[in-house]
């Protein structure tokens, strides 16, 4: 699969894949079957609509992306939310609240077409990261504002990863030698790069059209595949402002644009109980997914101690934790390999011992507490 994804997240997902921390078919099916009668990402307060775009963006629900990519939003959810906001006569303004490293190419350009057809004023707010496919979405808004000075935007480029096996042989028809290029060869890599370059050109054209600039400017000034911090991104024309930072025009006496006051939890609960209830339910779902992610990685790597601690202290699946699980999994694999070669070393490898019943009960208790379950 080809991705428009921030490099750090892309590498973290590949590491998780290599460690065997994949959701099973039953978990994936349950995730896909959840009630999706509405977009699930749209909230309306007064005359303003907000669409939450978080985590890895995919064409269909992807539990692996949600666990190891910081969340998951589908392009269909975004498109449905845009249609609902556009058709709601009470909505006069749409905000795209984006915290996403990007996502897959499949489905992106249908969403960009839907954004292009929106007639109501629309702005994008880039929170922690607004990269690659997510930045392409933001570029279609009337303006892009960074939520803070540490917000990262950009990562404009296309990437693909191939797992090569010496036990796999591919044969193509005589007149289709590029159908399955051998990426171990210079010629095969060149064939893949040609395809990525063509996709890159389409991607950059979409960003340039949204930002009303030339494609050459995007290629030259928008990070060349890297992410850029908010103030530098504003200087390069990638975004239009940073919250809490006075622009040069304002400092010299120009007019200052003010942001709408943010609503706190108490006001939201009292003024919009339906919206509060929906947000609460979304939070409960996210917490369940957080716990499941740690349990899956803990079981796959044999490091349930780390999973127990992470669940208890509320840790999300960070790159540091992913690396810790991966290291534990590799260590476990080495131990099992030594035991297979020489059973006598088994007694000396305490790290490979199975989780005891008492430890299992501790993990279960922490999980129950994290999910708000009663004994």
On whether residue 128 sits in a domain, the answer given is yes
Same-domain status, 273 and 220: no
Q: Where are the beta strands (DSSP E) in 197-300?
A: 227-229, 241-242
Specify whether the backbone of 46 is left (phi greater than 0), alpha (psi in -120 to 50) or beta: left
Question: Are the C-beta atoms of 128 and 151 separated by less than 8 Å?
Answer: yes
Distance CA 110, CA 127 (A): 24
Task: Give Cα 187 to chain centroid, integer Å.
Answer: 32
* Contact assessment for residue 251 and residue 156, using Cβ atoms and an 8 Å cutoff: no
Q: Which residue has the higher pLDDT, 294 or 39?
A: 294
Mean pLDDT of 112-137: 94
Which residues constitute the domain of residue 142?
A: 7-11+33-242
Question: Are residues 99 and 149 both part of a single domain?
Answer: yes
CA neighbor of 92 nearest in space, from 242, 226, 305, 260: 260
pLDDT tens sequence across 63-122: 655 555 467 899 999 999 999 999 999 999 999 999 998 988 889 999 999 999 999 999
* Residue at 252 is within a domain: no
- Say if residue 39 is in the same domain as residue 183: yes
Report the C-alpha gap between 217 and 143 in whole angstroms: 18
Give residue-wise pLDDT tens across range 220-251.
999 888 889 999 999 999 999 998 665 544 44
At residue 256 the predicted structure's pLDDT band, cuts being 50, 70 and 90, is very low
When divided into structural domains, the chain yields a total of: 2
pTM over 0.75: no
What would the mean pLDDT of 119-147 be, rounded to a whole number? 95
Residue 352 lies in a domain: no
Residue pLDDT, tens place only, 308-320: 887 877 776 665 6
Residues 233 and 291 both lie in one domain? no
CATH number at residue 172: 3.90.226.10
Residue 154, SS3? strand
Co-location of 201 and 335 in the same domain: no
């Amino acid at each position: 699969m080809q991705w428009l994804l921030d490099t750090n997240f892309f590498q973290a997902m590949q590491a998780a894949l290599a460690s065997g921390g994949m959701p099973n078919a039953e978990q994936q099916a349950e995730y896909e079957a959840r009630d999706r009668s509405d977009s699930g990402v749209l909230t309306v307060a007064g005359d303003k609509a907000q669409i939450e775009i978080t985590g890895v963006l995919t064409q269909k629900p992807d539990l692996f992306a949600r666990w190891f990519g910081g969340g998951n939003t589908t392009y269909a959810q975004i498109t449905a939310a845009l249609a609902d906001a556009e058709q709601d006569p009470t909505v006069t303004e749409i905000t795209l609240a984006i915290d996403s490293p990007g996502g897959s190419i499949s489905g992106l350009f249908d969403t960009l077409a839907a954004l292009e057809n929106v007639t109501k004023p629309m702005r994008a707010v880039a929170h922690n990261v607004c990269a690659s496919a997510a930045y392409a979405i933001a570029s279609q808004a009337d303006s892009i504002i960074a939520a803070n000075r540490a917000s990262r935007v950009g990562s404009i480029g296309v990437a693909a990863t191939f797992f090569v096996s010496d036990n796999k042989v591919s044969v193509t028809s005589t007149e289709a030698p590029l159908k399955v290029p051998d990426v171990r060869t210079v010629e095969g890599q060149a064939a893949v790069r040609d395809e990525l370059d063509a996709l890159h050109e389409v991607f950059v054209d979409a960003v340039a059209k949204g930002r009303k600039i030339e494609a050459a400017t995007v290629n030259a000034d928008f990070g060349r595949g890297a992410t850029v911090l908010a103030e530098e991104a504003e200087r390069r024309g990638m975004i239009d402002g940073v919250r809490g930072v006075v622009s040069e025009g304002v400092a010299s006496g120009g007019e200052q644009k003010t942001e709408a006051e943010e609503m706190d939890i108490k006001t939201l609960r009292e003024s919009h109980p339906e919206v509060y209830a929906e947000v609460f339910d979304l939070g409960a779902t996210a917490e369940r997914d957080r716990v499941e992610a740690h349990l899956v990685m803990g079981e796959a790597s044999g490091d349930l101690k780390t999973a127990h601690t992470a669940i208890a202290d509320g840790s999300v699946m960070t790159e540091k934790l992913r690396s810790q699980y991966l290291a534990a999994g590799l260590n476990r694999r080495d131990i099992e390999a030594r035991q297979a070669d020489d059973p006598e070393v088994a007694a000396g490898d305490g790290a490979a011992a199975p989780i005891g019943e008492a430890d299992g009960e501790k993990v279960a208790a922490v999980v129950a507490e994290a999910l708000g379950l009663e004994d």
